Amino acid sequence: MQYMPDAVPGPEPSFDDATYWANCTEKKLTFQQCGSCKAFRHPPGPFCPKCQSDKIDWVAAPEEAKLFSFTFIYHPAHEAVRGRIPYNVAVVSFPTLGGVRLITNIVDADPGDLEIGMTVRLVWGKSGNGQTIPLFKKG
Ligand SMILES: [Zn+2]
């Protein structure tokens, strides 16, 4: 499944998020949890923003999340997305993981279909560069 056209750049793993993307390639959605104070964070980073610890645990996310926020894009800000509008950009949260949030797309949603707080479910897709990426569908 691919939500955005091939011409839209996909993620390029960096030193800090290489584990995150490698886990995504194996269709495992994981988040960093501080090994000291247990706070979750995303995007991945080398230190905990709450206690500055460099101890990192990777924790698997559940398949269900809550829709925290979203918007539909109607104006193609780039030629690559002209054929894709309207598309959505969503923020989902994971209440069982301290409310950690992820920016994503809801793949099966037309304008008017989404409601903040609704349950959404993880599905796996591909970006234009072939990276496996976490997407979501309605409950
Ligand atoms: Zn911490």
* pLDDT of 43: 97
> Percent helix, strand and coil across the chain, each rounded to 5?
10, 35, 50
* pLDDT of 38: 98
- Mean pLDDT of residues grouped by 10 in the chain (139 residues)? 92 96 98 98 97 98 98 94 95 98 97 97 96 96
Joined together, the tokens standing for residue 109 give 């949603």
pTM of the predicted model over 0.85: yes
* pLDDT of 121: 98
Could you tell me the distance, in angstroms and rounded to a whole number, from the CA of residue 47 to the centre of ligand 1? 8
* pLDDT of 138: 96
Q: Domain locations in the chain?
A: 18-138
CA 38/CA 112 separation, integer angstroms:
37
Could you tell me the distance, in angstroms and rounded to a whole number, from the CA of residue 112 to the centre of ligand 1? 39
Could you tell me the distance, in angstroms and rounded to a whole number, from the CA of residue 135 to the centre of ligand 1? 28
Cβ–Cβ under 8 Å, residues 24 and 131 = yes
CA 29/CA 12 separation, integer angstroms:
17
* pLDDT of 111: 95
* pLDDT of 39: 98
Please report, as a single letter, which amino acid is at residue 128: G
